[in-house]
Structure formats: structure tokens, C-alpha cells
Amino acid sequence: MSSLSEAPTPVPTAAPARRPRVAVLFGGRSSEHAVSCVTAAGVLAAIDRERYDVVPVGITRTGRWVLVDEHAAAFALGGSAQPEVPADGARVALSLEVAAGALEALDATGGAVALQHVDVVLPLLHGPFGEDGTLQGLLELSDTRYVGSGVLASAASMDKQVMKVLLAGAGLPVGPWTSFTARRWAADPDACRKDVATLGLPVFVKPARAGSSIGITKVDRAEDLDAAVALAVSHDPKVVVEAALVGREVECGVLEDLGGGEPLTSLPGEIEVLGGHAFYDFEAKYLDADSVRLTCPADLPADVVAAVRRTAVDVFLAMGAEGLARVDLFVDPARGADGIVVNEINTMPGFTPFSMYPRMWAETGVDYPELVDRLLQLALQRPTGLR
């Protein structure tokens, strides 16, 4: 038996755990490239460097993956030149070997050299080739963990026509709409016009798989429909036409629970277009802040707020979303819960410090850095492989 006077046996100390390495992926080939760059600038400034190692990876407009100097990534919208990923960075690629989780540097001959292990990817890409399941599928091939929804939920939520079918099938309220392809429009435009006419006027003509209000036209006169369709199909060969909805435009943030419980919701926020724009278009969202009032929390009766938050969770679950989402709704407070209509779900909402999603969570008690941390923790604990 040892005595108190004897020196204690040394206890081996474990090596300090390596900080998780996060690849922040942004830019991309879609028309929302510039918005993605601005989102990345906000997130890169917010990530806790004492908890995470960060590797900023940009995707150029032509699809080249490059390492980006984050100190040069002070992207901002405004002015004549929109931000974009520079093409002169060192080229990188994600290894597709299962469980490798590695970025590889590409030399001038195209050969690959292992660069560093990546524990989780934070894909801050908006629109096609990033938010639509394509990137998620690439990450799934190598069992690389990532923030946000999986392949199916990303693809279905990005496609407004598929999304509406799924939400209606789940018994959730969606407004009147129709959809057609560029091929059908070219073959039988009169039939398409007749379908649109059943919706009345005004209508909103949209690319089925785009975001940030790019390619959308509000049509008040039947003679303006053809030009609106031409604009939409320049962004996507599938078009969705929606009847204008009466009500206040409200958004609600959804965030998965770290403990595995029911998804959490933020206090709702409201968007009001004050003038100069027919609707909440790209310029109103990003370039003309004085024309829009963003109110958070929205001034709604308590029962309507509760119904909005419940509907947002129902939409999130119906689409099989993961991590985060923003659910956009139209609300007629005079009709209570019966006055809620779902507009869409966005599985990778705008994430600048001034975007509605983080603003709503800040009002709910989760500030911007904490929100980023929660999303990374959710991704790190998710299983890999088929789930």
C-alpha cells in the first residue's frame, strides 16, 4: 500500500485533440455566384478559429476549385463589379476515395498531391451546381460530412415544381400554380398560355431551379407573358408560374436540434417592399436596401406566430431537410392559421450577417457565430454513408 509521502505515479497525458478542419466552399457556376461570395465573407469572419481550422475553397464561374486567401475575400455586393472567386488560386479537388476526406492539390500536369484532411464541408453555394443536390452527391461519394440537406431534399427543394407537389401531397397549403418546360412552350405555347390564364393576373413567372429572385418577372398583362417566359427559360428549361397571393410575406428559420429532438424554429421575420420594385427582386434584396423594410420579429398575433413556426417545421420534415432551412410563407393574419400559404423552402438561405435567416435567429437568442458553430456541430455528428 502506498503512503501519502510517496510521489504519485505520473499519469500519461493525451495529445491535444486536433481541431476539426472545415472547408468553406463558395462561389460556383450558378447566377448566384456573387451572393455566395458575400455569404462566405460573413461566415469566414464568424467561425471560431480556436475551435476550427478553416480552409476557404472557391469555385470559379467555370467550375475550377481553388484555394482562396480569406484575407482577400472581403466580398460585398454593390457597384458595377460583382464579387467573384479569383481564378488564379492554387487548384484543388476533393478526393473521391471513401473516407479519405482529403483535399488534393493539382500540379501543372494534373497530378494530385494530398493536401490536408477535411472533417466537414460548409457548402455556401446558392442555386444550381451547389444547392440542388449535385454537390451533395459529390460529397456523399467520399463519405465527407457536410452542412445542410442531403441529395434528395436539396434537389427537391430547389425545384419549385417538385417542391409544390411534395408539399401538397403532405397536406400543406400551397398557392395555385402551373408548370411547363421550354420544349412544351416551343411546341404548344397556346396550351401553356391557357394553363396560365386559369391563374388570373397578376402572376409570377419563375425559373423552376434558381434563387435570389433571379429570372423572375411579375406579369400584370397577358401580352407580357411571352417575354417573362423567355427570361425564365434563359435560366432554366423548366418554368413555374404562380398566382399572386394576398398576404404579408413572412419567413421563418428552421434549425435541427443538436439533441435529436424536433427541429427548432426562429421568430418569424417580415419583408415589406416599400417602393421602386414590383416585388422582392434581386435588386431589392441586395442592392437597394432603402426600398425594403425587414422586420424581425414580425408583428403578428401570437397564435399566427405559433402557426407559422409549426408550418415551418412541417415543411422541413415533409421535404426531408437537414441542418438548416428558411421557409417562406404568405400570411393573412385576419384568417389566423387558415391564412398561411407556403411559398417555398430554401435549404441554403442567404447567410450574410444582414440576411434574414441569421437576423431571425439573433432575435430568437442565437447570434451569428453561435449559429455557424451549431451548424458545424450538427454536420460533425451526422452519420456517413447511406442514412
The residue with greater pLDDT, 386 or 129, is 129
Q: For position 113, what pLDDT does the model report? A: 56
Give 167-198 pLDDT, tens digit per residue.
Answer: 999 999 999 999 999 999 999 999 999 999 99
CATH (one of 3.40.50.300, 3.30.365.10, 3.60.10.10, 3.30.470.20) for 157-173+246-381: 3.30.470.20
Q: For position 105, what pLDDT does the model report? A: 73
Residue 281 confidence (pLDDT) above 50: no
Domain 177-243 has CATH 3.30.1490.20: yes
Q: For position 288, what pLDDT does the model report? A: 44
Residue 268 confidence (pLDDT) above 90: yes
Give 5-22 pLDDT, tens digit per residue.
Answer: 333 344 444 444 689 999
Residue 337 confidence (pLDDT) above 90: no
Domain with CATH 3.30.470.20 in the chain: 157-173+246-381
Domain with CATH 3.30.1490.20 in the chain: 177-243
Active site (catalytic) residues: 32, 212, 286, 326, 328, 344, 346, 350
Give 18-38 pLDDT, tens digit per residue.
Answer: 899 999 999 999 888 888 998
Per-residue H/E/C for the chain: CCCCCCCCCCCCCCCCCCCCEEEEEEECCCCCHHHHHHHHHHHHHHCCCCCCEEEEEEECCCCCEEECCHHHCCCCCCCCCCCCCCCCCCEEEECCCCCCCEEEEECCCCCEEEEEECCEEEECCCCCCCCCCHHHHHHHHCCCCECCCCHHHHHHHHCHHHHHHHHHHCCCCECCEEEEEHHHHHHCHHHHHHHHHCCCCCEEEEECCCCCCCCCEEECCHHHHHHHHHHHHCCCCEEEEEECCCCEEEEEEEECCCCCCCCEECCCEEEEECCCCCCCCHHHHHCCHHHEEEECCCCCCHHHHHHHHHHHHHHHHHCCCCCEEEEEEEECHHHHHHHEEEEEEECCCCCCCCCHHHHHHHHHCCCHHHHHHHHHHHHHHCCCCCC
pLDDT confidence bin for 335, thresholds 50/70/90: confident
Domain with CATH 3.40.50.20 in the chain: 21-146
21-146 is classed in which CATH architecture?
A: 3-Layer(aba) Sandwich (3.40)
